[in-house]
Structure 1
Amino acid sequence: MSPDQGMMIHISVTQLLDCLADLMTGQRKAVSFTGADTSFELRFRSTKKGVKVAARSGPVALVSRTELARTVLSAAERHAASHLSSLPRGEGVADDYSAALKRFRPHAGKSPAGSATGRQMDLMRQLSDGAIRPEVFAKEWLGARRKALADGERMGEGLEHHLNQVFYALDGYPIDPALREEGDTTEAELLAAVEQALSLLSD
């Protein structure tokens, strides 16, 4: 894939996210998406039974709004994790893509209030703000993670990836200070991992 082709994909995904956002909010009952610099087209129509997806060749699928939002968001976040970092910070295309992701995430029903995943995010913010001790954070965050897994909470791949990075940092962080050894994750390294995850999730 050439740099120009890659840029067109970034632009197309941004346009798709914004296009579907209008459908998800109910501002429009039907939307049409055409990829940048291509003839590829998809049409989406909201019905009582869900969202009808069609291409120029005919019907493609009938899915619920939530399923459509989560599928699109997951693919967009996976693409961002693999390719967006290659663009310079401050690059307009990258900024537009990140902003579109941020706007679209609520439509996928991610981290609802009261969920265990939402609790993990709250604890991360508390640690970043200095409102909670690292050992308390570690114990409560791991407990929330276990609950999220037990409850089968679903999330986009981007969010899952960043939460996994925090988990990997905690895996090397003994909660009991008496058990800590050289080479273990330090409090500073744990905080850095949490703040990096929060920063990337807010992009």
Structure 2
Amino acid sequence: MEFRFAVAENELPPPSGFDLGHIDVHGSENDATSRGRTPDQSMMIYLSLTLLLDGLRRFLTGRKPAYESAAVDSSFSLTFTRVGGDQIDVSYRGVVLERSTARELADAVFESAQSFARMSLPALPPDDAGREDLESSLGEFARFLEREQRWSAQTDRVLSEAGWYPGRAVSTVRWENALRERGGFEIHEAARGFLREFGGLVSAERGPGKTMARMGFRLDPAVAEREDEIFEALSEEAGVALYPIGEADRGNQYLAMAPNGAVYVGMDSVTLLARTADEALEKLAEGVR
């Protein structure tokens, strides 16, 4: 999918953040444009692009089933609709232009917005309100995409709602002391690093997932206090020393981490959930077996 943002050819100097312009969208199934419409659908392009970036970012990190973009001083709008999994339909006036993944859509919009900004923003005064707003929105979207490279938008939303944020760091001392005194557990660096960033997060989200139901999870090692015999058996079966990091499925499964960072799940028996913590969190958040 390709987006194009442009200032209208008939705009008179000097350039302004309130200049009119157009949006063109080329999809694999259909195209859409604000050009040549009656009534005129040209829009305040700098402000409209800012609204699109902010609205799409909130949609991709939120839970709403659909998002309709708004344009300033124009009736032109695009509709973004979740259709299952990570797939999103982009439509114009009820006609689907293309179905793509959330990441593909975000990349397409951002790359085109960056191209427009490189060509058009230098012509605006540094203190122009439209320029400042668009630069701020581009920065927020860039930071959003950096987080997306770590995991999906759905995982980011689940973790954010549970209390995670970039740079989060909490003390693990109370958990280490409690599990050492009531279970004889000795923490390793992989578990310490994981709990420093994610310890204490709780997600009660339940429902359909990608390949299995989402069961919710609690990243609190204290749930395994005095369960040293269970963890000895799980560790023996896994062939590595497992340290508790929480529970899933309302306490029916323990979550545990190996010294190499791999995450296991089990109670009566143990299964490798993921080879990395980030992959494990994504599986828990999205319902992946």
TM-score, normalised by the number of residues in structure 2? 0.36
CA contact (8 A) 1:31 1:45 kept: yes
The equivalent of 2:102 in structure 1 is 65
Q: How many residues were matched structurally?
A: 113
Rounded to whole Å, the distance in 2 between the matches of 1:62 and 1:111 is 19
CA contact (8 A) 1:30 1:44 kept: yes
Unaligned ranges ≥5, structure 1 = 114-203
Matched residue of 1:41: which SS?
coil
Rounded to whole Å, the distance in 2 between the matches of 1:42 and 1:76 is 16
Rounded to whole Å, the distance in 2 between the matches of 1:84 and 1:78 is 10
The equivalent of 1:35 in structure 2 is 71
Where in structure 2 are the equivalents of 1:2-151 lying within 5 Å?
2=11, 3=15, 4-6=19-21, 8-49=44-85, 50-109=87-146
Partner deviation per Cα, 1:141-175 (whole Å, 9 max, x = no partner): xxxxxxxxxxxxxxxxxxxxxxxxxxxxxxxxxxx
Identity %: 30
Which amino acid in 1 is paired with 2:76? Answer: F
Rounded to whole Å, the distance in 1 between the matches of 2:125 and 2:62 is 35
TM-score, normalised by the number of residues in structure 1? 0.51
Question: What is the deviation of 1:12?
Answer: 0.9
CA contact (8 A) 1:23 1:46 kept: no
Question: What is the deviation of 1:28?
Answer: 2.7
Question: What is the deviation of 1:110?
Answer: 7.7
Which amino acid in 2 is paired with 1:100? Answer: S
Question: What is the deviation of 1:18?
Answer: 0.6
Rounded to whole Å, the distance in 1 between the matches of 2:147 and 2:108 is 12
Rounded to whole Å, the distance in 1 between the matches of 2:93 and 2:149 is 36
Unaligned ranges ≥5, structure 2 = 1-8, 22-42, 151-289
The structure with more strand, counted as a fraction of residues = 2
The structure with more helix, counted as a fraction of residues = 1
Which amino acid in 2 is paired with 1:67? Answer: E
